[in-house]
Amino acid sequence: MTLPSGAERRRDGDPTPLELALARGHRWLAMLESGEAKSLRDITRKQGVDSSYVSRIVNLTTLAPDIVAAILDETLSSDLTLFDLAVDPPALWEEQPRVGRKSEAPSAEWSAAAQCADARLPSYPSSRWLVLFHS
């Protein structure tokens, strides 16, 4: 695997389950967008997994940038689980759980990313995302 310039490999080398789920969700979405898979059911067949699992994991592609950054930086609040994030997440980033700053206003970085509705993937502060997604 080739790392992007400046990216550092984790010392233990193993991604967390949340990181794997996030990368898997984006991979499956890319399969749909490219035509490699025609439907979630097609992904289910190709991957040999349950259809509800595929649906939940693809839901992770709609998470707000600060949640994704917290997953990749391993700073996600311990009270949030994969189930909390993957099952019917709110479509609006503002309605999704705030990570580690429940009473604070969204950061300037988060607000800027929220305004980039045309971007396929928001700009995440961690180069770990590139390593996971392209593995």
What pTM was computed for the model?
0.67
Residue 20 CA: distances (Å) to CA of 29, 34, 110, 113: 14, 21, 23, 23
Closest-CA residue to 113 (of 65, 56, 63): 65
Contact in structure between 13 and 131 (CB atoms under 8 Å): no
**Could you give the C-alpha distances from 83 to 10, 18, 72, 80, 105, in angstroms and in order?**
25, 10, 17, 8, 25
Tens-digit pLDDT profile for residues 53-111: 999 999 999 999 989 998 988 888 888 889 989 998 888 898 888 764 333 445 555 45
Nearest of 2, 4, 58, 69 to residue 30 by alpha carbon = 58
Assigned token pair, 66:
């600060």
At 116, is the pLDDT very low, low, confident or very high (cuts 50, 70, 90)?
A: very low
Q: Which tens digit of pLDDT belongs to each residue from 16-58? A: 999 999 999 999 999 999 999 999 999 999 999 999 999 999 9
Task: Retrieve residue 92's tokens.
Answer: 């609006």
Segment 1-29 mean pLDDT: 74
Q: Is the pLDDT of residue 14 over 90?
A: no
